[in-house]
Amino acid sequence: MPEPLQKSEIDSKTDPSVAKQYDHDTPKSEQIDDFYKTVDKLGVGLLTTMRPGLGPVSRSMAIGKRNGPDFLFVANKHSKKFADLEHEKTVEITFQNSSTHDWVSISGTATTVSNEDPRIKEIYNPGLSAWFGDLGDGVHTGTPEDPRMALIEVQSKYISYWKSTVTTLGFVKEVGVGALTGQVANTGVQREFTEEDIKQMRHTQA
């Protein structure tokens, strides 16, 4: 149910929508499992790089493989994102479920890996070839041996996500009541993983 806004939250310059939904109770292991389930189910997110002289640039990318809290993407090394990453390795990956409003934000560092990396063959599926095309020269074939096919590996440094705890109808009711009464809607839980949490996740990755 919506909760009253407190004067202490104003005095301390606290964002009440975050503070009231911040998850202090769920065991960290369960929070991690929920994070994995969310990103695995969505599968496609936005990978944001920093472009010199412009700023953040995002594009839709399908997860090639998730290793615990870290991600691999197969991409065409002729794309501009590789030039972006030569200048700045910091990236962001975001996911959102338009049905539940669940979202995930991952800040990390990206490393580009050439076509010689054997993991490309592990991740490759025939559908990928549709994004590369086949020139017919026996080289640029859209297969794992195609020199254009490379990996972007993102190591997470900070993760935050929000998970809905109400139905669609409950969400509408919660927001409506909050707007009418001056209270703060409480529709889900806000969670975060620090760099130390993420190190532990790598040791127990699922």
Distance of CA 114 to the CA centre of its chain: 23
Cα(64)–Cα(84) distance, integer angstroms: 20
Mean pLDDT on 106-120: 93
Mean pLDDT on 118-128: 94
Reported as a single tens digit per residue, the pLDDT across 185-200 is 888 999 999 999 999 9
Q: What is the pLDDT of residue 171?
A: 83
Using a pLDDT cut of 90, give the percent of the chain over it.
75
Q: What is the pLDDT of residue 206?
A: 63
Mean pLDDT on 93-120: 94
Cα(24)–Cα(7) distance, integer angstroms: 21
Reported as a single tens digit per residue, the pLDDT across 32-89 is 999 999 999 999 999 999 999 999 999 999 999 999 999 999 999 999 999 999 999 9
Long-range CB pairs of 121-127 (<8 Å, 24+ gap) are 122/65, 123/64, 123/65, 123/72, 123/74, 123/151, 124/74, 124/149
- How confident is the prediction for the chain on average, in pLDDT? 93
Cα(20)–Cα(163) distance, integer angstroms: 13
Q: What is the CA radius of gyration of the chain?
A: 20
Position with higher pLDDT, 183 vs 35: 35
Q: What is the pLDDT of residue 11?
A: 83
Q: What is the pLDDT of residue 200?
A: 94
Mean pLDDT on 145-173: 94
Contact in structure between 46 and 93 (CB atoms under 8 Å): yes
Residue 204, sorted as left (phi over 0), alpha (psi -120 to 50) or beta, turns out to be alpha
Mean pLDDT on 19-25: 91
Reported as a single tens digit per residue, the pLDDT across 139-149 is 999 999 999 99
Q: What is the pLDDT of residue 5?
A: 82
Distance of CA 131 to the CA centre of its chain: 22
Confidence (pTM): 0.90
95: confidence class by pLDDT, cuts 50, 70, 90? very high
Per-residue b/e over 122-148, b at no fewer than 16 CB within 10 Å? ebbeeebbeebeeeeeeebbbebebeb
Cα separation values, 125 from 64, 129, 142, Å:
9, 8, 10
